[in-house]
Every structure is written in C-alpha cells, then in structure tokens.
Chains A and B, each alone.
Chain A
Amino acid sequence: MPKFTPSELDAHKAKLLAAPAKKAVIKVGLNTCGDAAGAQPVMAAIKEEVQKAGLDAQIVKTGCSGMCALEPLVEVTTAGAAPVQYGRVTAEAAREIVEKHIKGGRVVDAYKVPSVGDMSSEKPVPGKQYRIVLRNCGVIDPESLDEYIARDGYQALKQVLSGMTPEQVIAELETSGLRGRGGAGFPTFMKWKLTRASRPGEQKYIICNGDEGDPGAYMDRSVLEGDPHAVIEGMIIGGWVIGASQGIFYIRAEYPLAIERIEKAIKQARANGLLGKNILGTGFDFDLEVRLGAGAFVCGEETALIASIEGLRGTPRPRPPYPAQKGLWDQPSMVNNVETLANIGQIVLRGGAWFGAIGVGRSKGTKVFAVTGKVKVSGLIEIPMGTTLRQVVMDICGGTSSGKPVKAMQTGGPSGGLIPASLLDTPITYEDLGKLGSIMGSGGMIVMDESDNTVELSRFYLDFSVDESCGKCAPCRIGGTQMLRTIDKIVERKGTAADIAKIRKIALTMQRGSLCALGQTTPNPVLSALRYFESEWTERLVPATKK
C-alpha cells in the first residue's frame, strides 16, 4: 500500500485527473435513504444493461444530493453535455434510460427532474444554494479515496502539515467567522484556541459529535455517508492544531451506514499514510476510532457525550470545568459537530477571508438544513447565511406540498421554536432566529401548513424532551412532566387560563434552574406556540365563568 508523502499525494491527484474520461458517467444515489427508496435494484439494472450492451460508461455509487423526495436518483452525464438528473427511477425506467440516453444520446424527459445545479449558483447569493459542506455529497463515491483526492481531498491537511503553524490555522478560522454547527454557535476558532492552550504537552482528544439528536433531521448522517473523508480531514487538522494524538467519532447506532462508511474511510486513510503514525511523512501521529451512541438524545450534549464514551450513563455534568480543561478521561478535549468539521478543509484551502465574505453579520458561511414537513420538495439544502425563511420554502423548496399557505416554520427541533408565516422574511442567522424565540439549531427545518396544529406540534416536541430528560436535576425532570400534563389538560379542553399561566411559570423555572441545555430549552417550542398562536390555545380553554 502506498503511504503518501506531500509530493506523492499531488502526483497521485494529477494522475487521477489525467485519466481519460469515460463516454458516460452514471451516478446512483445510495445512502440509507436511497436504499430505502429502491435504489439497489436500479443500480443492478443499470449495471446489467451497460454490461450487456458493452457500453463505455462509468457507474458510480454516490451519497445524498439533497433531492431526497425524488429518490431513487440517477444522474447521467454524457461527454460534452451537462448532467441530467432523473428522479423516482425504477429498474425498468433505468433500463430505458440506459437504452435511450446512454446508447441513443436522447434525454428521457419522462423521468427528468430539476437538478441541484438548477437551484444553486456559482457564487454565494442569498436565496440560492451554495455548497461547501455538501460539495462532494451526491457527486463522488464516498467509498473511494481516489475520488476525494481528485476533488482536492487532503490538500488542506497537506498544506497545514507542510508549512502552517497551529496559530495560523486558528487565525484563518477567526477570520472565517465559523461558528459551531451543532446548535450552540460557539466560535470555532475560540474553542480550538482554548483547547490548544490548555495543559500543553498532555494527552488531548478531539471528538466528532455525530449523535444528531433532532428527530426529523439528517444533515450529519448525509455528510458522514456522502463525504466521510471530509470530516476525517477536519478531525486530523483539528487534532494537530490542539495537540491531540487521538480522535473519536461518536455516531448514533441508528446510523449503521454512516458508521460503516466512516470505518472504511478511516482504514483507507490509515493505509495511505493520511492517518496513524507519521502522517504524510511529516512526523505527526494521529489516529481515530469510532464509538457508538445507544439511543439517548441527551448524549448529544458534550459532557454527557464524554461520559458515554467512557462507558457510563450519559448524564451531563455542570460546566465549568469545560471539556477544554477537563474532558474525556479528565484530559483536555474538544467536541465539534460533523458539519463544523466538514467546513475546515475548505476554509484552510480557500482562506478564512473567502468564507467570511459569505453570510451576514456574525453569521458567516453556509448552513445545511433538512427541510421536511408539508413542503413540496423535501430534502437537504445548503444556503448562505442571511437567506430568508421565505426564500427557502418558496424559492428553493417550491412552496407547500398541499398548496395551502404556510402557517409556520420550526427550526432547532425540540430546542427551537415556531416562527409564524408573518415573519418568513427573517434572514437565517443565529441572531435573528434567536430574537424570535427560536434557534439556528443543528439544521432541522419543519414546514407547517394551515392544516397543522401548533398546540399538537409543541406537545409532540415537549413529549420528546420529557422522555429524553436524563432525570438528574429536578426542574427538568419534574417541570417537564408537569408541563406536559397541563398541556394535555388543555388539549382535552379541560384547561383554564390559570393553566396557561402555570405553563409559563414552569417554563421560567426550567429555563433558569436546569443543569444542561436540554432542560433549559425544553419549553421553547411551547413558549413560541403560545407567543405566536395564542388563540389556538385559548380557544381550547374552559371559560372561567363555567367553573
């Protein structure tokens, strides 16, 4: 197995790029979801037809392109032509596509759907997709190291290890304005700087948070499945900057394909001198291992996550001390989200200033969202910060699936809040969403139309959070249950105005008294529903006079 040095990496990349292109390239989306939608038989049919006809075509298995509602997805590129996207492809349709398009050179209009390219722009402009994190998803075969290398893969690592100082990397991150994509939005450069400065020379750890707890969101799964090396490259760079020799992927057990792809990518990187001892011949030693979650939402919280890696119950502990001071096995540790890490390589390569020019105010770069609910084109999108909610639903996702008006959108999952249709022109930034009582969150975005009920949705989220409370502290454990009971009373039309007041009071106690952000944010969906849709609550109340 070749172990790359920096120059060999470049030579290998040049060789890959110089290889003669096939007459046609056929890409089939094969993530967890593609499989579910029936992409395996489609793949088999294409392979069979291509072989039977002896065609000069390359067949590639890719990750998620984002057009999730249209799966199974097949993309065909013939020499000199722009890629054509086909959606909802069956095995028969696939045979027809091979016959007519690959062999005959005619696009099969019956299965043609808009491509991501149609919705994206070359330059980052609000209202259009722009891909940094998802740049390889749906484009390359995630199980091929060569395809990643051909798309500038491990160039950032090479650059960092052969000429930059850790301080320079941190400075680029500071210029970029990148903030954590896991929910809290803490400036990434600051976290890296603090962990680097903490107890120099001691054993440190970098941890990738792939727990993705928001139910109804799958940004991190798609990145782990669709471009695993990009996250690994971010981890190695992060490990080098903070002075860690060991990194850990913590991934939910519910994501078996993501786990498999990351494990495979780790092996490939190790075999090629990109991981392990003496990385790229520069003397830097760093390795990675994978640990699985076991179905506890609270384990997404960083101190609980660390406890879980130690093999314990995943209960949060008070901070400080922060993981940077005392984390895994009491050593300095840094927890970063999947999407945060997937941004690192591009920021190093293209410069912090390039990234910092995208977005608005203190919200820089792009954000990936999983847009679901009553939306026409449900899927994964990546947009420059500052794009408005309206642009997302109406322009990018084609409006509601029912054709009924949008009633509200929800960001931040169980920790976030509802935003009413009247505020859809709000730009997507940490600050603007926060002002409305919601949060950026990790990327869940739910669209509701007028047939949906905000009392029920907020009850749904509350039920989730109550179920997932670890029970360590009273405000969260008791407050959540009481709030749920009170809401149930209102749902059953037995509540009074006093019950609404009671909900507000419990909310305050939970926000102020809970130990971790789970308890502190549990009331958010309910509070936002009360704030913007109060009449849906009051119309369910028993009039005070009747009592």
Chain B
Amino acid sequence: MNSLIKRLKMQFDVEEQTQRSNLSFINATALQLPALLTHLRDYEKYTQLIFLTAVDRIEDNQFQLTYMLADESSQNNIGVRVRIDRENAVMTSIAHLWHHARTYQQELREMFGIDFPGSPGVNDNFILEGWEEIPPMRRDFDTREYSEKTYFPRPGRSTTHPRTAMKAVDPDYPELPLMKGRVK
C-alpha cells in the first residue's frame, strides 16, 4: 500500500490518508481523476469499482465524491476523494472505465443533482418518479417538512427518544446536542 502511494505521488499531485494497512484514501483534484483512475485500473490492478458515493459538504459549498476501488489479488482498497463545486455540480463521467458506474452516476444525479455529462441514461428516473423539489439528499432539503406537507401525517405520534424518555423520569437529565431541533 505504501509503495503504491509513493508511486502515485511521483505521477500525480495527491494527498493521502491511511486508515488501515489495507485501506487508504487519497485526495485528488477533479481534473486528475480520470487519469488517476485509469492508472489505478490498468497499471496497479485496482480493477474493481466497489462504489461511488457523494457527501454534501454544505459548509464548504462543495460535494465530496468518493470512488472506492479494490485490488482483488491483494485485498487492498483505495478510496479516491474529489471535491467539486456545489453550485455548478458537474463531474466527468467514468462510465467508460467501469460500465456499472453509470448506475451510481444516475443515482447521484437524482439524489444530489450532480451531473455527469455523457453517462448513459444519466437523466432517466432512478428511484424517484416525477420529483419536483431540490434533490432530496442535499442537506438543505428538509425531509421532515416535506413529509409533513405531502404525506398526510397521522396525528398522535409520540416519541420514545432517550432524551425525552429520560427527561420524564429525571428533570435534570442533560440536553443532548444530538439531533437538535429534530425531536419533538
């Protein structure tokens, strides 16, 4: 793993973070990504794309994409992280490298609104049909508010969240910062 990172650093401008002996993450720029993934696939035996996922870094006004690759023979995994702009969320498609990446890209297009121009079927419906709001996995989408105004909530719902349950028996039970504003 270490020697791989060394080799990569000779060719690409990447930062690395090693999590376990068989799992590392490298941060790369969006421009480098296709070359980096092609290199990993064709020269370093990272032939399997395990997943492609996104995180909404709304504080930085960015999306973080993680491409997780695996080397079957050595059981090593490497995650390639890329930050892209949140306002104009466009990323290069990698469907030509792994055919199944189109499904991930279609999902990200629907759930986060990240476009992958040229990816086959990227604008087709994936799970949502006829969605009219902002993409639901963006963190500024208030899922509870949407659910309450759309799905006819049944009144009389109560919660057994530990915080409220403990408050009932012990008034001094501390307020948790956890899930603030989410639990009635």
A and B form one complex? no
Query: Which residues on B are within 8 Å of A, measured CB to CB?
Result: none
Query: Which residues on A are within 8 Å of B, measured CB to CB?
Result: none
